[in-house]
């Protein structure tokens, strides 16, 4: 029996996804639930498990290709059919050849599209790179013309050379078509420099594009204001030193400073609920629960913000565990759409990369984001006007001045500062 593998819908608003990587190839035997491919959407990256035991008969979407959700991306033959072909290598090979042919045939090209393909000398690869907007993802005349247009533009830029990875560039172009950034226009100056080999052009991946879009939207939505405090972290440094071994032993991962700030932030938000709202026209929507987003870097190419749901209900240990699980999932691209949705307040920690002071952009539709700078040893004036070496860090609150004023942000930061600086060195976090 043939089992269809369809592009999953990773969240209700998600309409398309990229096949990031195939983990299997045609002819491979797969177990039910075994990951067979990695996909990437603007919200999450994820592995797709096989829907059945069987043999991969056809792979219909290439790596790097964006397709609408529910698109047929692979066919797995389960049951007797699969075992039959297993016993017969020759027929297996035949079926592979056949399947690759039928794959080509499946991509229906209308007469005018074929004509345009011929006229513009497009390759099969080209065609695969074009994102179809017709029925069932069919490539339409308009799609081809857009593609050709972008190709021509690009040829003009590269002086007609083929140094650029054309299909990829075009793919990004076409798949942007419905987004505000769709005009990947390159300025004449840039074009000239490109010709002079002064730089190369790399298309953004879907995550990059999404981040870019969100950042611009946030800046144009919220008037950002930044307040900064310096926090003496000596207490939590000492506390962490004291409990970290036992923590590692008990929890199986090491204790970072982030949970301390998460807890402090949650308490602070509870104190100043305006930080946990969103703006809807002229209304302020207060959120019941604190769903705490924590930005996690994905290598050097992007970041994702998994959400700790109902953070106000979690203990220190609960926050630490949630953080660990989500960060791990984020890095291994296993986050579910629900796990990145619904944040009400975000904490970001560029300090881990050495940043002293950050001024982050608010994660819409939230109204504030707390930024943790690096904890560094610095001289500080302490009690009795003495100068001492302390573990210091800067906390920044970026907030939306539409709804939050300097007084609230100052009070919130002071609250957090006090919370960290007065950490009880004898606290039992394992209770």
Partner 1 sequence: MHLNLEVLEKIYSISWLARYFDEKSEILYKQNKCHFQIGCKGHEIIGAIASQIFEVGLDWFFPYYREHALVLGLGMSPEDFARNLLSKDSDPNSHGRQMPMHWGSRKLNIISQSSPTGSQFLPAVGLALGLKKEKSKSVVYVSSGEGACCQGDFHEALNWAAKDGLPIIFVIHNNRWAISVGFEELWCKSSISEISKAYCLSKSENGFNIESLFQTFHEARNYAANNQEPVLIEIFVPRLCSHSISDDQTKYRSHQEIEQDKEKDPLLALERVLLSKNVNVEGIKSKVKAVVDGAVLAVEQEENPDVKEIFIGSLTFDQAFRADESNAVGETVTMVDALNQCLKESMQADEKIIVFGEDVAHGKGGVFGVTRNLTDMFGIHRCFNSPLAESSIVGVAIGLALIGFKPVVEIQFGDYIWPAMNQIRNELAVISYRSKGDFTAPVVIRVPVGGYIRGAFYHSQNIEATFSHFPGLITVMPSNAGDAYGMLYSALNTRNPVLFLEHKGLYRSPYARSSIKKVVPLGKASVVKEGKNVTAISYGYTLHKCLYCAKKVEEEKGISVEVIDLRTLYPLDETTIFESVKKTSRVLIVHEDNLFMGYGAEISAKIAENCFHFLDAPIKRVGGLDVPGICQAPDLEKAILPSEDKIYNALMEVINF
Least Å distance between CB 114 and partner 1?
7
Residue 223 burial by Cβ neighbours in a 10 Å radius (0-12, 13-18, 19+): exposed
For partner 1, which is the closer residue by CB, 31 or 70?
70
CB 130 within 8 A of CB 140: no
Least Å distance between CB 252 and partner 1?
53
Q: Is 405 a catalytic residue?
A: yes
Element (H, E) at 81: helix 80-87
Q: Is 401 a catalytic residue?
A: yes
- Token pair recorded at residue 304: 């994702």
- Token pair recorded at residue 334: 């296993």
CB 256 within 8 A of CB 403: no
Query: How many Å apart are CA 36 and CA 69, to the nearest integer?
Result: 17
Count CB-CB contacts under 10 A for residue 353.
Answer: 9
For partner 1, which is the closer residue by CB, 127 or 290?
127
Least Å distance between CB 353 and partner 1?
46
For partner 1, which is the closer residue by CB, 21 or 141?
141
Binding site for partner 1 (CB under 8 A): 110-115, 134-135, 138, 140-141
Query: How many Å apart are CA 173 and CA 392, to the nearest integer?
Result: 46
Instruction: List the alpha helices (DSSP H) in 196-257.
Output: 206-221, 234-251
Choose the catalytic residue: 88, 94, 245, 405.
405
For partner 1, which is the closer residue by CB, 143 or 166?
143
Phi and psi angles of residue 204, each rounded to the nearest 5 degrees, phi first: -70, 145
Least Å distance between CB 108 and partner 1?
10
Query: How many Å apart are CA 413 and CA 408, to the nearest integer?
Result: 9
Least Å distance between CB 75 and partner 1?
25
Query: How many Å apart are CA 311 and CA 294, to the nearest integer?
Result: 11
Least Å distance between CB 178 and partner 1?
13
Phi and psi angles of residue 342, each rounded to the nearest 5 degrees, phi first: 85, 15
For partner 1, which is the closer residue by CB, 16 or 400?
16
Choose the catalytic residue: 88, 196, 401, 424.
401
- Token pair recorded at residue 231: 């926090």
For partner 1, which is the closer residue by CB, 111 or 281?
111
Angle at alpha carbon of residue 338, lines to 334 and 340, rounded to 5°: 70
Query: How many Å apart are CA 266 and CA 345, to the nearest integer?
Result: 9
Query: How many Å apart are CA 244 and CA 252, to the nearest integer?
Result: 11
Q: Which residues are catalytic?
A: 401, 405
């Amino acid at each position: 029996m043939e089992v269809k593998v369809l592009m999953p819908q990773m969240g209700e608003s998600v309409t398309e996804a990229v096949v990031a990587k195939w983990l299997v190839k045609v002819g491979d035997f797969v177990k039910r639930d075994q990951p067979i491919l990695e996909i990437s959407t603007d919200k999450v990256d994820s592995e797709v498990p096989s829907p059945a035991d069987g043999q991969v008969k056809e792979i219909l979407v290439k790596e790097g290709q964006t397709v609408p959700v529910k698109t047929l991306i692979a066919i797995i033959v389960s049951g007797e059919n699969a075992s039959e072909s297993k016993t017969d290598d020759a027929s297996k090979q035949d079926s592979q050849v056949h399947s690759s042919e039928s794959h080509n045939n499946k991509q229906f090209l209308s007469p005018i599209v074929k004509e345009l393909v011929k006229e513009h000398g497009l390759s099969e690869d080209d065609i695969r790179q074009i994102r179809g907007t017709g029925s069932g993802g069919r490539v339409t005349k308009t799609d081809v013309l857009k593609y050709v247009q972008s190709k021509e533009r690009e040829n003009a830029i590269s002086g007609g050379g083929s140094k650029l990875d054309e299909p990829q560039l075009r793919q990004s172009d076409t798949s942007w078509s419905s987004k505000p950034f769709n005009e990947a226009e390159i300025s004449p100056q840039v074009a000239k420099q490109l010709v002079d080999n002064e730089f190369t052009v790399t298309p953004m991946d879907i995550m990059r594009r999404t981040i870019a879009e969100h950042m611009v939207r946030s800046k144009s939505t919220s008037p950002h204001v930044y307040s900064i405090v310096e926090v003496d972290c000596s207490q939590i440094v000492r506390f962490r030193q004291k409990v970290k071994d036992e923590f590692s032993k008990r929890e199986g991962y090491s204790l970072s400073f982030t949970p301390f700030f998460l807890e402090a932030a949650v308490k602070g938000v509870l104190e100043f609920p305006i930080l946990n709202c969103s703006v809807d026209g002229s209304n302020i929507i207060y959120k019941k629960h604190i769903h705490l987003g924590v930005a996690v870097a994905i290598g050097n190419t992007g970041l994702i913000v998994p959400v700790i749901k109902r953070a106000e209900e979690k203990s220190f240990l609960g926050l630490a565990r949630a953080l660990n699980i989500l960060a791990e999932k984020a890095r291994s691209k296993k986050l579910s759409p629900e796990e990145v949705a619904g944040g009400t307040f975000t904490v970001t920690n560029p300090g881990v990369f050495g940043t002293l002071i950050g001024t982050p952009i608010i994660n819409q539709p939230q109204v504030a984001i707390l930024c943790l700078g690096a904890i560094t040893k610095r001289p500080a004036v302490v009690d009795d006007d003495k100068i001492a070496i302390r573990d210091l860090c800067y906390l920044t609150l970026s907030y939306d001045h539409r709804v939050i004023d300097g007084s609230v942000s100052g009070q919130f930061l002071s609250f957090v500062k006090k919370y960290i600086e007065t950490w009880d060195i004898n606290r039992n976090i394992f209770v």
